[in-house]
Chain A
Amino acid sequence: MKRILMFGWELPPFNSGGLGVACYGLARALVRTGFDIVFVLPRKVDVDPSFMDMRFAASELARENQSVSVRSIETLLTPYITSEQFSMMKQSDTTQLYQQTLHEEVMAYAQKAGEIAAQEQCDFIYAHDWLSFPAGLAAKEVTGKPLIAQVHATEYDRGAGGADERIVKVEKQGLEQADHIIAVSKYTKSVIMDRYGIEDDKIDVVYNGVDREDFVKAPRSSRLLRGARKQGKKVVLFVGRLTAQKGFEYFLEAAAKALAHNPDLLFVVAGSGELEAPMMHRAAELKIADKVLFMGFVRGKELQEAYGAADLFVMPSVSEPFGITTLEAMLHGTPVIVSRQSGVAEVAEHTLKVDFWDTEDLAHKMLAVVENEALQKQLRRNGAREVRQLTWKESAKQCAWVFDNRFTS
């Protein structure tokens, strides 16, 4: 049995978004496919998956290096830290510390990773995204085992306009020194080739998946959303962080256009982020504030209720390496519109597609779905059927193929 030493940054339920979900889903499926995994996280959190061993770098780190306050870092250092946040931080003296700390933590994680790797037997090393790349590289150096770097997102996706050079540098180094790369979509593979100059045959595409077992059966929809539907309102759902990358402003513009044709629409927003306040203002400016419901960050049952209650799910991302929420919506039988600037658009055929900037087209398609029952039904049925094929098991199989064929361990 092959043993993988896997470096990640977060796992559910202690996740701030799709990265943790993807790491968990893939690791579990790899174990079921016949791999043995030791999963390393930078900080101690209360997760204990029965299927793999966990190691936490930070618990040991915190013991040895008192200068790093783990607790204060946790709230700020999400894997989705954006260049915008960085530039905000740079303007402020007090936050200068956090920027330092992020890199310090990444490097400290790497240092600790080397120690962990020295204690763990493994056949190869696997690192998820830039925050784990230095850790993966350190482990590679200590063990001499090959490193696979998986890219769930690049700084150019998160930055949506301005990438942070320091993060790009860490990414580039990781990608160059890894023995092989797995990208979550063709879209992401092309970014890795174009922006980081990595050659074609070093990168394989393995799409994300979704597993039915992670969701409760037939969730009830929340009382609020049930009430809205009873009044004849159609619910259009957005799930994601409110950052430039996710294209929420385009969602609002399209919502205003759709509402001009059909006032019986309710736009529900599940997620929070730096743009939450500005976007609430924008909704007021567009005079649709009463039609846009900001739920804040939701997870688990509450998120499922939102999926279940929605007549339509929209993912208007500006740059989306994959977009797991789309698969989750499809799993709940919710019709979907995704931006063409996303990886999931490559695999999910039974969805409608738009260019994120074309708010006219988005409005037009939103109206078409909510106003036509036959269309809704067909998208629900075919989407639910299609998503059954898009499982983590399938992703793990493709990973296994990559392990067997792309390098000799």
Chain B
Amino acid sequence: MSTICFYFQVHQPRRIKDYRVSDIGEDHGYFNEKKKNDRNNKFILERVSRKCYLPTNKLFLKLLKKHPEMKISFSLSGIFLEQIEDDFPEVVKSFQDLVKTGRVEILSETYYHSLAFLYDQKEFERQVEMHRKKVWDLFGVVPQVFRNTELIYSNDLGRKIDAMGFKGILAEGADHILRGQSPHQLYRPVDSKNVKLLLKSYKLSDDIAFRFSEQAWEEHPLSTEKFVSWTRDVPSDGIINLFMDYETFGEHQWEDSGIFEFLEDLPRAFLKDKKNTFMTPSEVVDSFEAKEQIDAPQYFSWADEDRDLSAWLSNDLQKEAAQKLYDLGKDVLKIGDPEIIEDWRRLQTSDHFYYMCTKWHADGDVHKYFSPYETPYDAFIVFINVLNDLKLRVEAHKNK
């Protein structure tokens, strides 16, 4: 028998508009692009809601009704939730309907989908708390399992999450961390008392999330029967952690690729083996022992070939932008102006740094696909301009 544990990441940043030097000191509406382009957050959210969130939520509601064994989990960033609350209440409701089934778990994360843990632990805690509150307000549940931005993880984070009282944490099943051990079992972080570690089965996850519609892939087209046959290779009692972006369905893999038909048929094909089942991350933590320990002194993540921090923090642009932003934190918080604090936090969303990445070859293409800017340099320029405006606002406050 084996267990599938689904976790879907749902997130949309607030992208910075074409913010020019001449806007500094004049315009504080950093995220309100009016033109219909890829920096217009409402425009994008409308498209992704129509192509992904609404149809996929509808499909999962149907599947949950049809298969009593079916369970899934989401991590919904706070900055995503506030955007759909503002403009797309029907999307909020469709997620609420799913949670009401009692078989959809909501995970914890930083409200702003940020890299705060790397720069400011107090700020990290505040953002986790903000997110907890938002999830409670919208869904009436308290998350028990944590997932950090882009599955960034290290021993330090494991300790922190343990101390904060969570019972589980998610991470990438990276080869260099597992060193030949199986991703299909639970692990203990170093020094942890309670928290257990779930590792992504990245091969099977990426078969769906990345390779599904890739014509050149030798397994294309991927049928549910074929996929389920691969799950049989997992050792008995194994956990198959299928972690992916929710936008896989309908946005990254288009509807005409057959991704929805695949998803609709997957539970049936998997449950044909009567011993197979689905669990949420919390259920996995409650049901399995964590025998082995994972020692990760260095950060790792689910991004790029490197599976490290390089997607956000490898070049000088990214490092400078992040450092300058967090350097401003002390003053921003001291001043206590809610609007300034909010803008400062919206700039912490990891996507801003992802867009500045100048990696080469295949990873570079992936970054380009996701970026609303013509080049990584443009992403940096608007960010720095906005940061300079924010600084002026902070200075103006101080001189009051």
A residues near B (Cβ < 8 Å) are 261, 349-353, 360-361, 363-365, 367-368, 372, 374-375, 377-379, 382
Contact = CB atoms under 8 A, between A and B. Distances in A.
Contact of A374 (B21, B22, B316, B385): B316
Contacts of B20: 360-361, 364
Nearest to A261: B21
B71 to A, nearest CB: 44
Interface string B341-373: 000000000000000001000000000000000
B381 A368 contact: yes
A92 B242 CA distance: 79
Interface string B1-39: 000000000000000000011100000000000000000
B316 A353 contact: no
B378 A375 contact: no
B320 A365 contact: no
Interface in B321-343: none
Interface in B372-387: 374-375, 377-378, 380-381, 384-385
A261 B23 CA distance: 12
B374 A374 contact: no
A370 B243 CA distance: 43
B390 to A, nearest CB: 16
B315 interface: yes
B316 A368 contact: no
Contacts of B320: 374
Given A353-B375, A372-B384, A377 B22 contact: no
Interface of B: 20-22, 315-317, 319-320, 358, 374-375, 377-378, 380-381, 384-385
23 contacts: A261-B21, A261-B22, A349-B375, A350-B375, A350-B377, A352-B378, A353-B374, A353-B375, A364-B22, A364-B381, A368-B21, A368-B381, A374-B319, A374-B320, A374-B380, A375-B317, A375-B377, A375-B380, A375-B384, A378-B316, A378-B358, A378-B377, A379-B377
A377 B316 contact: yes
A180 to B, nearest CB: 30
A347 to B, nearest CB: 13
Nearest to A258: B21
Contacts of A349: 375
Given A350-B358, A353-B375, A378-B377, A360 B317 contact: no
Given A363-B21, A365-B381, A374-B317, 14 more contacts: A350-B377, A351-B375, A352-B377, A353-B375, A360-B20, A360-B22, A364-B381, A372-B380, A372-B384, A374-B320, A374-B380, A375-B317, A375-B384, A378-B358
Contact of A368 (B315, B358, B374, B384): B384
Contacts of B319: 374
Top 7 A-B pairs, shortest CB-CB distance: A364-B20, A374-B320, A368-B381, A374-B316, A364-B21, A367-B21, A378-B317
Nearest to B382: A368
B306 to A, nearest CB: 18
A225 B1 CA distance: 74
A172 B317 CA distance: 48
Given A353-B374, A368-B21, A378 B384 contact: no
Contacts of B21: 261, 363-364, 367-368
A367 B24 CA distance: 13
A367 B385 CA distance: 11
Contacts of A374: 316-317, 319-320, 380
B35 to A, nearest CB: 14
Nearest to B380: A375
B367 to A, nearest CB: 12
A334 to B, nearest CB: 14
A375 B375 contact: no
A349 B371 CA distance: 14
Query: Which of A360, A361, A382 has most B Cβ within 10 Å?
Result: A382
A381 to B, nearest CB: 9
A302 B316 CA distance: 32
A261 B320 CA distance: 23
A27 to B, nearest CB: 31
A236 B158 CA distance: 50
B315 to A, nearest CB: 6
Contacts of A351: 375
Query: Which of A351, A367, A378 has most B Cβ within 10 Å?
Result: A378
A374 B315 CA distance: 9
A261 B315 CA distance: 28
Query: Which of B375, B378, B385 has most A Cβ within 10 Å?
Result: B375
A368 to B, nearest CB: 4
Nearest to B23: A364
Nearest to B364: A349
Nearest to B19: A364
A368 B317 CA distance: 12
B84 to A, nearest CB: 32
A52 B20 CA distance: 51
Contacts of A364: 20-22, 381
Nearest to A262: B21
Nearest to A351: B375
